[in-house]
Chain A
Amino acid sequence: MKKFAVVAAMATAFLGSTSAYAVDLEVTHWWTSAGEAAAIAEFAKLFEEQTGNTWVDSALAGSGTGANPVIISRIIGGDPMGATQMNTGRDAEELIQAGLMRDLTPIVEEMGGLDFYVDQSLLEPCTYEGKIYCLPINIHSWDWLWLSTAAYEKIGQPVPTTWDEYVASWPALQEADILPFGLATGWPISGVPGVLMSGIGGSDLVLAINRDKSADAVRGPEFRKVAEAMDALRQVISPEMMVPSFGDVGNQLLAGEAAGNIHGDWLAGDLQIAGGVPGEDYECLPALGLGDQLTGGGDSFYFPVLPEGTDPAVIQAQADLAKILISPEGQLNFNLVKGSMPIRTDIDLSGANPCMQKAIGMLGNGLLPSGDFALSSDTQQQFQDLNIEFLDDDSITVDDYIERYATIIEQAD
C-alpha cells in the first residue's frame, strides 16, 4: 500500500508537468497473441491512468518480418506514430542515424540516469554519439531448452538436466514414437544455433562470433561441436513432423508428443495459457543446463521525431510514456504478464514463475550479446536462410555449414 502511495505521488508529479487536456498517442507494436496483448494493455492502463491521455493501440500482425517493415516505412514515409516497439538491436540503427528518432537524453537526465538497468550493454544499440534514442523495456533470451515431463514419464526416464543427457535420451524416445525435438516451420530454427553456441561452445565463442565477428572462431574446434549438434538435431527432425507455429510445439510438449524444444522464453507465455505448470508439466533449462550466462536481447520502445506543428501536448505525452515504460510499476506489471525479464531488478519479483526466477539469477553474470542483438538484420536473414536450408538438405555437410557460416560472418558489418 505504501508502495502504491509512492507511485501515485510520482504519477501526480508527472501529471503536474503535462498540459491540462488529453491527447491521443498512437503506439505501434506486434504483440498480438493473447499473452502479449494482455501485457501491453498493462502499459496502456498505466499511461491512461497517470497522464489522462489516450493510448491509441495499433497492433500490427507479423512480428519482425511483417510488422517491422510497416513500422519502418511509416517512419521513413513521414507518417510517424507516437511511439513504437521494436526489437532491441540494430533494426533501427539507420533510422537513428538519419535523425528520425527522438533524442531521449533530456528525459533520461531528468530521471537521474539509467543506472538501474540490470545490464548496461542493453543500452548499446540505443546509444548513438553519446545520446539515448530508445529504451529497452524487457530482456528476452533464446537460451532455453524446454522439456516435456509427460514424454519422459512415458519412457520411464528422469527429465534430463543437461543437453548431454537430453541427447542421450533420443534413441529411447524414438523407440517410444515420441518426437525427440519438436519444431515449427520457418524462422524458429534460426534461433537454435545461437543457443547451442552459448550452451555447448561457451561464452567466449559467443563473444568472438557475435561481437568480434571472428571467422576464425567459426572455423575453430568449439564451433565445430555446435555444427555437429545441429547435424545431430536435423537427424531427428523431419519436414513432415514440423508444425506451423511455435505455439503448437508448446502443445506437443504438454501432451508428451514431443520431448524437447529449444525456443525463446516467450514460449513460456503460450505454455502458461495452455495450462502448463513449470516443474510439473514441463521443465526449463537455461543455457541448455551447461552455461551460466544467457544471451539476451529483447524489446525496446522508440519515439519517432514528430513533424513540425505537432501539438506540444503530444510531444509531452511521448516523454510521459517513456518514463512510465521503465518505471518500477510499469516494469513489474508488464513483465509478469509478458513472461520476459524486467530491465531492473530493484522490484519485487516474487510473483515470477520458476523459469523466470532461474533467469533472473543468471542475469547477475552479465548478458551475452545474442545474434538478434549484435548482428544486422541482413546478416540475421542470411543465417536464417542458411539454417533453414541446412535443416532440410542432408547433402550440406557439417564442413559446408561451417564454411558458409564463416563466409557470412566475414561479410557481416
Chain B
Amino acid sequence: MAETAVRMEAGERTTTRPGFLSRIFLHNLPAKIAALPMVLTVLVVFVGCTIWTIYYSFTNSKLLPTGKFVGFDQYERLFATSRWNVSVWNLVAYGSMSLVFTLVIGFILAVLIDQKIRFESAFRTIMLYPFALSFIVTGLVWQWIMNPTLGLQGTLRNLGWENFTFDWIANPRMVLFALLIAGLWHGTGFCMVLMLAGLRGVDEEVWKAARVDGIPTWRTYVSIVLPMMRGVLITAIVIIGSGIVRLYDLVVALTNGGPGISSEVPAKYVFNYMFSGGNIGQGLAGATMMLLTVLIIMIPWAYLEFGGKGRRA
C-alpha cells in the first residue's frame, strides 16, 4: 500500500507540474544550445567509443573489427601473457613512485620558491621548462645521458673514474628507476607551479595568525597551508595520474620496453597488438582493463568528493 502511495505521489508530482519537460529543454535555452556540441562530443566520442571498445574486446577481431563474439577469451589470453602482467606491475610500481615523488618534490620546490627569493621568475621558468618538451624528446635526451657507453658512465670512466657505474637503463632491475628519473625531470616543474599557485592563494592573515601563535614555519606548511590547498592537490593528482596511466611515449623513446620486457607498460602492449600485431580484440581487451583500473580508482574518489554533501572544501 505504502509503495503504491509513493508511486502515485510521484506520478502526481510529474503531472501536476505542467512545465516539467519544457523546463528541462527550454529553461536557459541559449546556454543549452551552446553546450550542445560538447554534450554530443562527450556522448558520441567518449561514451560511444568506450562502449565500442568494450564490445569489440569480447570478439575475435583481427585487423578489422569484424570478429565474432567469443566471451572472455581475449581476457584469458591477456592475463596468461607474461608481457601484459609485467606491464601492469611496472605501471603500478612506476605510478605509485611517480605520484608520491612528483607531489613531494613539487611541493618542496614550491615552498622553496615561495620564500620571497630573488630571481623567482627565472627559477620558475627553469623548473617549468622540461614540461614544454615532449616525452619523446625527454626520452631521447635521457637515453643519451644514461647510455652506459656513451653517456654519464662512459664520460666519467674516460675521465679516470674507472669503476663508476650508472647502467640503470641496461639493468632489468633498475630500469624503472631510470624511467622515473626522466619522468620526474619532466613533470615536477609543472607540479611545482600548481603548488606555488596554491601557496599564493593562502590568505596572508593565516600566516600572521600562525606566527602570533608561535607555530614553526614547517608546521604551518604541513598542518595548516597544505590542508587548505586541497583543490590544488586534487588538480595536481588528477593531472599526474592521467599522465601515468597513458605512459607510453616516454617508454618508447627511452627504453622501448627493454631490456627484455622489463620496462613494458600496458599502453604499449595495447598499441603493439592493435597495430603491428593486427589483433584488435586483444588490444581492446587491454584497453578495457586500463579503463577498468582508472574507474576502480576514480569511482570511490568521485563518490567521496561529490557524493557526501556539505564536505566540499
Interface residues of A (CB under 8 A from B): 64-65, 68-69, 72, 76, 91, 94-95, 98, 185-186, 239-240, 242, 376-378, 380-382, 385, 388-389, 391-393, 411
Q: How far is the CA of A344 from the CA of B252 in the complex (A)?
A: 40
Question: Of the 9-residue stretches B36-44, B195-203, B213-221, B255-263, which lies at the interface with chain A?
Answer: B255-263
Out of A64, A380, A411, which one reaches B77, CB within 8 Å? A411
Q: How far is the CA of A376 from the CA of B167 in the complex (A)?
A: 37
B-side contacts of A98, CB under 8 Å: 64, 66
Q: Which residue of B lies closest to A186 (CB)?
A: B256
* Tier of interface size on chain B: 20 to 34
A-side contacts of B124, CB under 8 Å: none
In the complex, whether B185 has a CB less than 8 A from a CB of chain A is no
Contact B260 A94 (CB under 8 A): no
Contact A185 B258 (CB under 8 A): yes
In the complex, whether B278 has a CB less than 8 A from a CB of chain A is yes
Q: How far is the CA of A393 from the CA of B172 in the complex (A)?
A: 9
Q: State whether A72 and B63 are in contact (beta carbons under 8 Å apart), knowing that A65-B276, A186-B256 are contacts in the complex.
A: yes
- Give min CB distance, A257 to chain B, whole Å: 12
B-side contacts of A392, CB under 8 Å: 172, 258-262
Contact A64 B276 (CB under 8 A): yes
B-side contacts of A186, CB under 8 Å: 256, 258
Q: How far is the CA of A377 from the CA of B275 in the complex (A)?
A: 9
Q: How far is the CA of A388 from the CA of B269 in the complex (A)?
A: 14
Q: State whether A94 and B258 are in contact (beta carbons under 8 Å apart), knowing that A239-B170, A377-B276 are contacts in the complex.
A: no
Q: Which residue of B lies closest to A243 (CB)?
A: B149
Extra pairs beyond A240-B167, A389-B82 (6, CB < 8 Å):
A185-B259, A376-B62, A378-B273, A381-B279, A388-B258, A411-B77
Most buried by B among A91, A388, A391: A388
Q: Which residue of B lies closest to A391 (CB)?
A: B260
Q: How far is the CA of A240 from the CA of B256 in the complex (A)?
A: 15
11 contacts between A and B (CB under 8 A): A91-B278, A94-B62, A239-B259, A240-B170, A377-B276, A377-B277, A378-B282, A381-B272, A381-B276, A389-B261, A392-B259
- Give min CB distance, A30 to chain B, whole Å: 12
In the complex, whether B148 has a CB less than 8 A from a CB of chain A is yes
Q: How far is the CA of A393 from the CA of B264 in the complex (A)?
A: 14
Q: Which residue of A lies closest to B84 (CB)?
A: A385
Q: Per DSSP, are chain B's interface residues mostly helix, strand or loop, or mixed?
A: loop
Q: How far is the CA of A411 from the CA of B277 in the complex (A)?
A: 14
A-side contacts of B149, CB under 8 Å: 240
Q: Which residue of A lies closest to B260 (CB)?
A: A392
Most buried by B among A72, A242, A381: A381
Q: How far is the CA of A210 from the CA of B272 in the complex (A)?
A: 22
B-side contacts of A94, CB under 8 Å: 62-64, 66, 278
Q: From residue 35 to 68 of chain B, which have CB atoms closer than 8 A to chain A?
A: 62-64, 66
Q: Which residue of A lies closest to B82 (CB)?
A: A389
Q: How far is the CA of A239 from the CA of B171 in the complex (A)?
A: 8
Q: How far is the CA of A376 from the CA of B281 in the complex (A)?
A: 14
Contact B260 A393 (CB under 8 A): yes
B-side contacts of A388, CB under 8 Å: 257-258, 260-261
Contact A185 B261 (CB under 8 A): no
B-side contacts of A382, CB under 8 Å: 81, 277
Q: How far is the CA of A391 from the CA of B278 in the complex (A)?
A: 24
Q: How far is the CA of A376 from the CA of B279 in the complex (A)?
A: 9
Q: Which residue of A lies closest to B274 (CB)?
A: A69
Q: Which residue of A lies closest to B277 (CB)?
A: A381
- Give min CB distance, B268 to chain A, whole Å: 11
Q: How far is the CA of A393 from the CA of B260 in the complex (A)?
A: 7
B-side contacts of A389, CB under 8 Å: 82-83, 260-261
Q: Which residue of B lies closest to A92 (CB)?
A: B63
Q: How far is the CA of A391 from the CA of B170 in the complex (A)?
A: 13
Q: How far is the CA of A239 from the CA of B259 in the complex (A)?
A: 6
Q: State whether A239 and B260 are in contact (beta carbons under 8 Å apart), knowing that A72-B63, A94-B64 are contacts in the complex.
A: yes
Q: From residue 153 to 173 of chain B, which have CB atoms closer than 8 A to chain A?
A: 167, 170-172
Q: State whether A378 and B258 are in contact (beta carbons under 8 Å apart), knowing that A72-B63, A393-B172 are contacts in the complex.
A: no
Q: How far is the CA of A147 from the CA of B202 in the complex (A)?
A: 70
Q: How far is the CA of A173 from the CA of B277 in the complex (A)?
A: 38
Q: State whether A95 and B262 are in contact (beta carbons under 8 Å apart), knowing that A64-B276, A378-B273 are contacts in the complex.
A: no
B-side contacts of A381, CB under 8 Å: 272-273, 276-277, 279
- Give min CB distance, B286 to chain A, whole Å: 13
- Give min CB distance, B110 to chain A, whole Å: 39
- Give min CB distance, B269 to chain A, whole Å: 9
B-side contacts of A95, CB under 8 Å: 63
Contact A385 B63 (CB under 8 A): no
Q: How far is the CA of A113 from the CA of B167 in the complex (A)?
A: 58
A-side contacts of B258, CB under 8 Å: 185-186, 239, 388, 392
Contact B278 A378 (CB under 8 A): yes
Contact B62 A378 (CB under 8 A): yes
B-side contacts of A68, CB under 8 Å: 275-276
Q: Which residue of A lies closest to B60 (CB)?
A: A413
A-side contacts of B259, CB under 8 Å: 185, 239, 242, 392
